[in-house]
Amino acid sequence: MLITNMIEEYAIKQPSKEAIVFENRTMTYGELFENAKKIASYLQHKGYKKGDMIAQFMLNTDLFLPVYLGVKLAGLTIMPVNTKLAPPEVDYIFHHSEAKVLFYDEKIEETIKQTTHTFDHVISTSEILDILHGNQTDFTQVSIEEDETAVVMYTSGTTGKPKGVMLSHYNVIETAKIWSDSMKLTENDRTYICTPLFHCAGLHVFAVPTLYKGSTVVIEEAFSPDRTLKNLEKTKATIFFGVPAMYTIILNKPEIREYNFHNLRLFCYGAAPMPYELVKKLKDMFPKVKVQNLYGQTENTPAASSLTDEYALEKIGSVGKPLKNTQIKLVDANGEEVPVGEVGEICVKGPQVMKGYLKNPEETAKTIQDGWLYSGDLGKFDEEGFLYIVDRKKDMIIRGGENIYPVEVEEVLYQIPEILEAAVVGVPHEVYGEVPKAYVVFREGKSLTSEEIINYCSTKLAKYKVPVEIEELKQLPRNASGKVLKHTLRPKKETV
């Protein structure tokens, strides 16, 4: 059973049920399946075959999911791309994936104009609408095996180059089952998504599981405190997902008490820890709404563990227990399991673990061993089996839910002729959790202002990756083997 099969079933059983709500528009399950068929028909008539990569560079709208589902219906592979990336980053992904078709949003076409990859077909949002307003729905049903690649999602790698995570049809549907079970989704839920659909969480933790249960996906283009609060009430949302920074912002708005959120039943958060005070404030202000923490990564679709409401305050800092059909173990440097209370690398096993990295067998072999996904995250279990993240993937910074690998930023800094050495670390931020800070060593007799460095980075990197602070050093701290000691640069953090 594929997610497209489920949409087809709902199109027959409940054709008039709202599948998608966006702004003042709705799309029923009957319309969603018809629209997916039109996308599939268009692609097949253009001659695309199984295995062809279809890129999706789109903002959150009611067009995103019809394209996502239509590509799958045609038997092709969909590749949602982060619209916040800078043109060189996007171009690398297009080239590496060898994508043949691009569906893109005209609002962000300036980025596309600055890329060099040649597509066979480039389809803008206005052209997508033309396809959907047409009558061509004839497509050939393609025989699809569950282990075939359904989705490729690029995630930044520690080497600085993004890696294409290959997710199978089986990964996607099993993750939908896992999360719908964990969040107790029903056909009556209305899941509010204002985080990007190109992200693994917005797409595979919330949108797809919601459709899997035949309930309603409420989409907002992007988080905007005032608009989001109004829409949560107006759309009668039952589930809301946000990163901690978003909760901090909305809870600090005095007018939040004026809204009637009586339909809300669940607040979900992930991507970064949420402080006790913030969870407590959330539960005090909305005593009838449950709070649930979610943990996973793109490589496990993402689904690993969850801290449910009854432990939200008691086990603050924990990412909970393994999800249904999921195993988690912690291992030392030799691959041996560590005792309770000791720190080890988090390894995940289950039907949600990716197939591997696109065109990267070496990294795949390192990351997946005997069916276990080696996450690179360090954690520990307490006596009751609750998992705590002690440290994240080596050096990774999470800014308001967005992952930043310092090496990506450092490579850009090294392009600046005046800079001899550079090191980037995360520093605390009251809203975003942490933000990137760069330490630089200038070549002899050379110097630049912080503003000049930041302006250069802004032309090469996504806005959220640009360092917010630059500090000059005489030299970077290194160990005996010459490795930069980043822990001496980072502000001291307490661990759980």
Cβ(221)–Cβ(87) below 8 Å: no
* 3-state class (DSSP) for residue 77: strand
pLDDT confidence band for 56 (50 / 70 / 90): very high
The percentage of the chain sitting over the pLDDT mark of 90, rounded to a whole number, equals: 80
Checking if the pLDDT of 127 tops 60, the result is yes
Q: Give me the mean pLDDT over the 185-211 stretch.
A: 97
Mean pLDDT of the region 198-210: 97
CA distance 470 to 433: 18
Band of the pLDDT at 494, cuts 50, 70, 90? very low
> Mean pLDDT, to the nearest integer, of 187-208?
97
At residue 480 the predicted structure's pLDDT band, cuts being 50, 70 and 90, is: very low
Short-list 253, 288, 249, CA closest to 267: 288
Give the residue-averaged pLDDT of 124-143.
Answer: 96
Which whole number is the average pLDDT over 166-184? 98
What contacts 384, CB < 8 A, 6 or more positions away? none
Mean pLDDT of 337-348: 94
- Asked if CATH classification 3.30.43.10 holds for the domain at 397-488, the reply, yes or no, is no
Class at the top of the CATH hierarchy for domain 3-381:
alpha beta
Indicate whether 481 pLDDT > 60: no
Question: Which pLDDT belongs to residue 396?
Answer: 79
Mean pLDDT of all residues in 77-88: 94
> What SS3 class is residue 65?
helix
| Residue 24, token pair as written in the block | 């003042």
For the chain, which residues make up each domain, given as ranges? 3-381, 397-488
pLDDT score of 378: 85
The whole-chain average pLDDT of the chain stands at 93
Q: Which residue has the tokens 């060099």?
A: 116
What are the tens digits of pLDDT across the range 451-460?
999 999 999 9
Cα–Cα distance measured from residue 381 to residue 343, given in angstroms and rounded to the nearest whole number:
8
Question: Among the ranges 343-357, 383-397, 417-431, 476-490, which has the highest mean pLDDT value?
Answer: 343-357
Q: What is the pLDDT of residue 496?
A: 31
Scanning 315-462, the segments in alpha helix (DSSP H) are 361-367, 406-413, 450-460
Please report the DSSP string for 184-231 in residue order. T--TT-EEEE-S-TTSHIIIIIIIHHHHHTT-EEEE-SS--HHHHHHH
Which whole number is the average pLDDT over 257-275? 90
Residue 492 confidence class, pLDDT cut points 50, 70, 90 = low
At 294, is the secondary structure helix, strand, or coil?
Answer: strand
Which of the residue ranges 78-92, 102-116, 322-336, 401-415 would you say has the lowest mean pLDDT?
A: 401-415
Residue 46 has pLDDT above 80, yes or no: yes
CB-based burial label for 477 (10 Å; 0-12, 13-18, 19+):
middle
More confident residue, 470 or 490: 470
Q: Residue 147's pLDDT band (boundaries 50, 70, 90)?
A: very high
pLDDT tens sequence across 401-452: 887 878 788 889 989 999 988 999 999 998 999 999 999 999 899 999 999 9
